[in-house]
Amino acid sequence: MAKVYVFTADGFEEIEGLTVVDLFRRAGAQTQMVSISGSLTVKGSHGIELKADQLFEDIDFQDADLLVLPGGMPGTKHLAAHPGLCDLLKAQAAAGKRVAAICAAPSVLGQLGILEGRKAVCYPGFEDMLTGASVSTKEVETDGNVTTSRGLGTAIPFALELISQLYGEEKAEEIKKSVIYMQ
């Protein structure tokens, strides 16, 4: 069973985070919403309060198959300012393990040097923050062990791409059909 960690901070984009959590749980992955805010209660960028499964400081992440950063503001800024998370992302990427970010959050990967020499996408207006990347216009871009996506409207294809990576195309198609995603 794959272990997936989705990081939340006050101001994160609710749909981007929850879509990944929901679809991975449907796929059978052990998926945890992790708060970096010091409290399990996290308030999204649109005022929706959610309860994370665990606090960042309570997990060692050695078993992580995938780390996911949802976007949203100011959530992305909070993710970028968390030293422990930044160290974890760099170590995960350097070990060749999967890292993913959507919307504004690929900028966090850019600031950490994780996008150097890779194709990547982000929410329009954040392209200059994808340091070292070749910016693509696809909805979802995977280059090696790093996957990026453009925003809320691409959250389902983003999650399905990640499911395909961990569980195969057949499982991704099964999930796609079960949620009546028609594209």
Which of 4, 29, 34, 103 is flagged as catalytic? 103
Q: Catalytic site residue 86?
A: no
**In degrees, to the nearest 5, what angle opens at C-alpha 10 toward C-alphas 88 and 5?**
35
CA distance 122 to 139: 9
CATH architecture of 3-172: 3-Layer(aba) Sandwich (3.40)
Q: Where are the domains of the chain?
A: 3-172
Residues in the chain predicted with pLDDT less than 70, given as ranges, are none
- Residue 70: predicted pLDDT: 99
Share of the chain above pLDDT 90, in %: 98
